[in-house]
Chain A
């Protein structure tokens, strides 16, 4: 077929009369870290639950490793590790026993438990009941569980939720190392763009159930076109003068904006202004941050 690890077509989920997920075509290529972004309640978790077979799509199809999830669910899930929303655990069992409970079902070798414990650095706490764990430790245990079956695809829903900064960095580094070291493909969701910027290679942005952007992170960055703003003594007069010279400039009370210009053109403008005795206070580059693009794309309702 093709080389997509996850491919959904027209994936739709309707609760009552509201579309929680609407015609989403998710495409994740092998070896990518796919950042699935969107404000809270945009439909990320619902999409992920459908991809994992936890919820039934109202419409649309899901193919993982080129296999139809409707038909080959169990054989697909064998190669998928997941962590959805908050980590699942049995509080009365120790970390080791929690992993053992899942290991039996996956039929993985026993040695794998120690391996994943050391990957998430829980080896020293393995013998403690999980109910005494901090949220960060539970989250790490959740990731360990997801890794237990040596998955080819890892699906992590908000893996850094509720972690402290050092925990976030730790998980991020862990996620980043995975495709390189083990050839795993990762789908990771978040409502924080800044987080995705630092690890994702591909991004999909979902808002109100609809996929509004899906491409590489560098394409998203290119959208952050820059403009030059100039602060001068008399904004209005100067902007009229520039317009009369044939430069396409915009202005507000304080600044004059010049968009999509070359360095040469800027130099020319400055030289002319200086020759006309204008006082130039500042020449600055204003770059749209990814967050601003994200806000524009999602219609400003984002929580960042």
Chain B
């Protein structure tokens, strides 16, 4: 398993696609710099900036990136006949699939770290005097990452099965764009997997009985874990049985 991951990272490092992890945090950084916090009480500076920055990032870029990264780690296998070679090597297909998934999870994780770093830089630039709300922001970024996992699992399934690069991207965009509408819906928002990264990243101000992350336990178990299990199971079964 470790060897599979090392191979995947070697292949990834030499392609330029991993640089995309910088794009969304950078754009969010610009959003953060552009927004004004004037007129707000000083203790809300950080969280308001965080919310401004998270909006384009989590509602749009994050779901899109899951698709781009998944499609890409499969892309170079499709193009050069790599699946065939890997399948004829003494590695189990299940582990190979898992390695691909983990690499994408890792990339999204770095993206989240960079977003937090971006937020921190914005605050430094604007010379916020209050302390950085580490807990809220870290939990938000982590919840956002968690909410991306089902999307990664689905995108991986789509990317493995279609050798074209455009097809998985189309699926990705088709499901991500309605986010803008669905996010505003109290009824559908909590059940739409593509809306979860955003919902998870938003800190909840209202007092609720129990919230481990920024997600209600209900959403966590039913929507996120449920869809993750479904997509993972479908992906594994498909890939292990696939004729290469």
Contacts and interface: CB of A to CB of B under 8 A. Distances in A.
A92 B18 CA distance: 14
Nearest to A73: B90
A183 to B, nearest CB: 20
B84 to A, nearest CB: 6
B38 interface: no
Contacts of A78: 90
Interface string B70-91: 0000001001111011111111
Contact of A77 (B11, B81, B88): B88
A52 B88 CA distance: 6
A78, A87, A104: most-surrounded residue (chain B CB, <10 A): A104
Given A105-B3, A105-B89, A54 B244 contact: yes
B91 A74 contact: yes
Contacts of A80: 88
Contacts of A91: 76, 79-80
B82 A90 contact: yes
A54 B92 contact: no
Interface string A24-56: 000000000000000000000000010011111
Interface string A182-199: 000000000000000000
Contacts of A93: 10-11, 14
Contacts of B90: 74-75, 77-78, 105-106
Interface string A71-108: 00011011010101111111111000100111011110
Interface in A106-163: 106-107, 145
Interface in B176-195: none
B14 A92 contact: yes
Contact of A92 (B15, B85, B91): B15
A107 B3 contact: yes
A52 B90 CA distance: 10
B15 A145 contact: no
Nearest to B241: A56
Interface residues of A, number: 31
B126 interface: no
B124 interface: no
Contacts of A85: 81, 84
Interface in B191-244: 241, 243-244
B7 interface: yes
A52 B91 CA distance: 13
A87 B81 contact: yes
Contact of B80 (A89, A97, A104): A89
Nearest to B243: A55
B4 interface: yes
Contacts, number: 77
Interface string A233-246: 00000000000000
Contacts of B15: 92
A85 B81 CA distance: 10
Contact of B4 (A49, A53, A88, A105): A105
A3 to B, nearest CB: 23
Contact of B76 (A56, A77, A90): A90
A88 B82 contact: yes
A106 B10 CA distance: 15
Contacts of B14: 90, 92-93, 97
Nearest to A100: B10
Contacts of A88: 80-82, 84-85
Interface in B1-59: 3-4, 6-7, 10-11, 14-15
B95 to A, nearest CB: 10
A97 B10 contact: yes
A77 B85 CA distance: 11
B15, B79, B81, B90: most-surrounded residue (chain A CB, <10 A): B90
B87 A54 contact: yes
A127 to B, nearest CB: 13
Interface of A: 49, 52-56, 74-75, 77-78, 80, 82, 84-93, 97, 100-102, 104-107, 145
Those 9 A-B pairs whose CB atoms lie nearest each other, nearest first: A88-B85, A88-B81, A77-B90, A78-B90, A55-B243, A54-B244, A89-B80, A74-B90, A52-B88
Given A74-B90, A74-B91, A105-B7, 13 more contacts: A53-B87, A55-B243, A78-B90, A85-B81, A88-B84, A88-B85, A90-B11, A91-B76, A92-B76, A93-B11, A104-B10, A105-B86, A105-B89
19 contacts: A54-B87, A54-B244, A55-B243, A56-B243, A78-B90, A84-B88, A85-B84, A88-B80, A89-B81, A90-B82, A91-B79, A91-B80, A92-B15, A101-B7, A102-B89, A104-B10, A105-B3, A105-B86, A105-B91
